[in-house]
Structure 1
């Protein structure tokens, strides 16, 4: 109990000292405030930027392996680039074979093809720059397609290649701004389609990546009636085969090995022949994004670290001045029986208080910035960054105040009393 009482007394003495020199306290806070603001602001921007970039890349799906002609990342820099162009494009036949031969390692196999820059028209209304995407029935098992109004395709509509469509929110509101778009018709590439579903609005993305808002999804058969599929990957629209993996397959290694073996068998590749296809996974892109933002975060720590060093030296300087001013009081406290740790805690708590107040002020400024409306990249101050900022403030306070506190605690009481 005595230790707790003395600790609380140390807090009280430190608080009184800070209030007695209010102007000096405020000036001392500025260095720490700027440092914490720089660190937390950069980390907040990096976290928000990374979250928005990952959201912008959500079109690639999660736990999905894509059979494509070209890899997303080139792990073999010495591989002749022209060989990629000689590879055959994925085909509908290969999709059917994979769908038939794959084991229970997968949750769905789909094929799709897409073209961009299309213009959709309904009466006098039109919308340019839309993507037409032809998908198989299993596409909803592979990629997220959150339908807000209406429904998805039926198997009968897919088999009959009917001219029905699930459109994005921007398409629905642009073609039919005065009411629901369900059941209404529009034209694309001279073909009339009926809207059976409207996808939930995604909003703006920080990257110019495919968005459901301007996507028009139609049955794969209806798509092939408009566009010719590629056989050599050079002319026509190249389809993509997507396979959704199971959660228990960590890293989708089992599914990847199985798909690789089946595709080599389907394409009649000999054991010594290299793969003429690429198996792409979203992890390839997310790993690249993670490395990029790790570097940006490190840069933020370096920039904020310099400001924190300056702030820490400022706090240390103020604490040395404070010890010098209160040397006589320290001598009186010691002559009345105050222990060394009581004096040490008194000055150490004062330094920590200064840094905590400065850190809290820096975090408050960052929070004010997050209140500014941002459509493309809303900023969010996470609890982790708040805790990190306060923790760094405490560490800087301890480092800046420990030497002045030790000097004060080791003062000779007789000499200290005579100092004034």
Structure 2
């Protein structure tokens, strides 16, 4: 109880000292305020950018492995495109083989995409991204329906002309009526609209959005485009891993083995397909933002360093001004650690107040509109800012506080 009482008393002395020298206190905390503001502002912007980028990449799915012709080529030096030029595209027969023989995935789908497809309805027309997908596509990727239904397995296997349209497509073609049950036309063929997708809004990086998509069964897509052609209209087979398969190791081994078997590759032959992991792109982006975070530390460290020296200087001045009071306190029985805590807490208070002010300024900036970028000050960054402030205050005040605690009471009382 004595320690708690002395600690509270030290806090009270520190608070009164800061309040009695308000102008000096404000000038002292400016350096810490600017430093913490710089660090937390950079971290907040970086975290918000990273979150927005990752949200924009949600269309890639999670815990998935894609079987494709081209491997991802980011962050690995020169891209040897000539090695992959003559590889065959994944086909519907490949998809069926994996579906029938694989058991390490929860679901598997095949999809193909063609952009810039004109969809018409009476006098209205709009450009869309046409997606041909298998029946199990909804189990691999989220397709949140607002109205209507998903197409049935019979419709998928029979290549029926049915379509699920995105929110923007629905607004452009059916501005005043419900699209479900109506027909649209693409490339001279009519398609029966069986559902609409909930609006997602514009992605931060302009990444593909369901708002612009029209989904049709994969075999229906093949009636319009040959998905195995070498003009870039290739297919992608996507397998969703099981939650028990940590790192999707079993799924990757199985897909590689089955595809090599399907393609008739000999043991010494290289794969003529790529197994791409969407999270590899996310990890690459995260490593890029880590560099920006380091830059934030460097930028803010200079201001914090200046603020720390400012606090230390003020604490030495404070010790000098209160030497007589320290002598009186010691003569009345105050212990060395009580004097130490008194000045140390004062330095920490000063620094934490400065850091809190910097964090508050970042909070105000988070209300500024930056288009699709949503700035959010996280609890983690708040704790980080206050923690750094407390450490700076402790480091800046420990020497002045130790100096005050070691003063001889007789000499201190005589000091004018």
TM-score range with shorter-chain normalisation?
A: over 0.9
Which residue does 1:121 correspond to in 2? 120
Q: 1:181-217 CA distances to partner (integer Å, 9 max, x unpaired)?
A: 2222222222222222121222222212211111111
How far, CA to CA, are the matches of 2:232 and 2:404 in structure 1?
A: 81
Q: In 2, are the aligned partners of 1:61 and 1:282 still within 8 Å (CA)?
A: yes
How far, CA to CA, are the matches of 1:212 and 1:317 in structure 2?
A: 59
Q: In 1, are the aligned partners of 2:135 and 2:151 still within 8 Å (CA)?
A: yes
Q: In 2, are the aligned partners of 1:36 and 1:304 still within 8 Å (CA)?
A: yes
Which residue does 2:175 correspond to in 1? 177
Q: 1:353-393 CA distances to partner (integer Å, 9 max, x unpaired)?
A: 11111111111111111122344111111111111111111
* Partner residue of 1:189 out of 187, 190, 207: 187
Which residue does 1:279 correspond to in 2? 275
Q: In 1, are the aligned partners of 2:348 and 2:394 still within 8 Å (CA)?
A: yes
Q: In 2, are the aligned partners of 1:204 and 1:375 still within 8 Å (CA)?
A: no
* Cα deviation, residue 80, structure 1: 4.7
Which residue does 1:411 correspond to in 2? 407
Residues 85, 27 of structure 1: alpha-carbon distance in 2 compared, 3 angstrom cutoff = same
How is 1:282-293 mapped onto 2 (pairs within 5 angstroms)?
282-293=278-289
- Determine helix, strand or coil for the equivalent of 2:147: strand
Q: 1:87-123 CA distances to partner (integer Å, 9 max, x unpaired)?
A: 11111111111111112x1111211100112222223
Q: In 2, are the aligned partners of 1:118 and 1:131 still within 8 Å (CA)?
A: yes
Residues 79, 405 of structure 1: alpha-carbon distance in 2 compared, 3 angstrom cutoff = closer
* Cα deviation, residue 176, structure 1: 1.8
How far, CA to CA, are the matches of 1:117 and 1:133 in structure 2?
A: 11
Which residue does 1:62 correspond to in 2? 62
More off after superposition, 73-82 vs 299-308: 73-82
RMSD: 1.6
Asked if 1:349 corresponds to 2:348, the answer is no
How far, CA to CA, are the matches of 1:339 and 1:182 in structure 2?
A: 82
How far, CA to CA, are the matches of 1:314 and 1:126 in structure 2?
A: 66
* Cα deviation, residue 76, structure 1: 7.5
Residues 79, 347 of structure 1: alpha-carbon distance in 2 compared, 3 angstrom cutoff = closer
Q: In 1, are the aligned partners of 2:75 and 2:284 still within 8 Å (CA)?
A: no
Q: 1:381-419 CA distances to partner (integer Å, 9 max, x unpaired)?
A: 111111111111110110011111001111111221121
Q: 1:71-90 CA distances to partner (integer Å, 9 max, x unpaired)?
A: 11378768853121011111
* Partner residue of 1:304 out of 300, 303, 313: 300
* Cα deviation, residue 171, structure 1: 1.3
* Partner residue of 1:400 out of 388, 391, 396: 396
Residues 236, 334 of structure 1: alpha-carbon distance in 2 compared, 3 angstrom cutoff = closer
* Partner residue of 1:364 out of 360, 365, 373: 360
* Partner residue of 1:328 out of 321, 324, 329: 324
Which residue does 2:72 correspond to in 1? 72
How far, CA to CA, are the matches of 1:77 and 1:350 in structure 2?
A: 53
Q: In 1, are the aligned partners of 2:73 and 2:79 still within 8 Å (CA)?
A: no
TM-score by length of 2: 0.96
- Determine helix, strand or coil for the equivalent of 1:111: strand
Q: How many residues align?
A: 416
Which residue does 2:130 correspond to in 1? 132
Which residue does 2:387 correspond to in 1? 391
* Cα deviation, residue 6, structure 1: 1.4
Which residue does 2:215 correspond to in 1? 217
How is 1:196-215 mapped onto 2 (pairs within 5 angstroms)?
196-215=194-213
Q: Which consecutive residues of structure 1, in runs of 5 or more, have no partner in the other structure?
A: none
Q: In 2, are the aligned partners of 1:37 and 1:366 still within 8 Å (CA)?
A: yes
Which residue does 1:5 correspond to in 2? 5
- Determine helix, strand or coil for the equivalent of 1:16: helix
Q: Which consecutive residues of structure 2, in runs of 5 or more, have no partner in the other structure?
A: none
How far, CA to CA, are the matches of 1:291 and 1:79 in structure 2?
A: 20
How far, CA to CA, are the matches of 1:174 and 1:33 in structure 2?
A: 51
Q: In 2, are the aligned partners of 1:133 and 1:223 still within 8 Å (CA)?
A: yes
Q: In 2, are the aligned partners of 1:227 and 1:236 still within 8 Å (CA)?
A: no
Which residue does 2:23 correspond to in 1? 23
Q: 1:31-73 CA distances to partner (integer Å, 9 max, x unpaired)?
A: 1111111111111111111111111111111111111011113
* Partner residue of 1:268 out of 261, 264, 267: 264
